[in-house]
């Protein structure tokens, strides 16, 4: 049985949502919905990660919609990971492995699809390795 998620108050994430302009909240809301869509697509495609997009969506909803933020944090599949990220900056082992596999596949596709020169190939590899190193540096 999962533990209930206490609702998020409207007075976090840098101030009251009411004090933010409607335009800014709208931008964050659209971005949050976009990141949720990418995360859902990522659940079915091995080269697109789910967890980072859901983390971004939760951050956007924290600045735009308490209702959607609460929905995401209480979600059966995504909620536990998001709550662990907020509490400890933790990334599950499965997500770490998925990031490694997805990044590797992404680099191979980049290499085969663009035939990059040595400088570009090195820069892209270093950026991708930096991302993977960051993910693996987080607690599980």
In a domain, residue 105? The reply is: yes
Question: At 2, is the pLDDT very low, low, confident or very high (cuts 50, 70, 90)?
Answer: low
Cα separation, 53 vs 16, in Å, equals 24
Per-residue model confidence (pLDDT) at position 101:
87
Give the mean pLDDT of 76-105: 89
Task: Say yes or no: 26 and 45 in one domain.
Answer: yes
Q: Do the Cβ atoms of 73 and 58 come closer than 8 Å?
A: yes
Q: Using one digit for the tens of pLDDT, what is the confidence trace for 16-60? A: 565 668 899 999 999 999 999 999 998 887 667 788 899 999 999
Residue 6: inside a domain, yes or no?
A: no
Same domain, 79 and 98: no
pTM over 0.75: no
Verify that 33 and 82 share a domain, yes or no.
yes
Percent of the chain topping pLDDT 70: 84
Query: Are residues 54 and 22 part of one domain?
Result: yes
């Amino acid at each position: 049985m999962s533990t209930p998620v206490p609702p998020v108050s409207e007075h976090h994430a840098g101030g009251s949502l009411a004090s933010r302009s409607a335009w800014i909240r709208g931008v964050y809301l659209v971005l949050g919905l976009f990141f949720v869509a990418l995360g859902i697509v990522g659940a079915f495609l091995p080269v697109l990660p789910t967890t980072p997009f859901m983390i971004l969506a939760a951050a956007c909803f924290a600045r735009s919609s308490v209702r959607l933020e609460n929905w995401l944090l209480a979600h059966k599949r995504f909620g536990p990971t998001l709550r662990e990220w907020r509490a400890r900056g933790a990334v599950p082992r499965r997500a770490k492995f998925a990031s490694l596999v997805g990044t590797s596949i992404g680099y191979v596709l980049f290499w085969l699809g663009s035939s990059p020169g040595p400088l570009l190939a090195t820069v892209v590899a270093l950026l991708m390795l930096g991302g993977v190193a960051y993910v693996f540096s987080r607690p599980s």
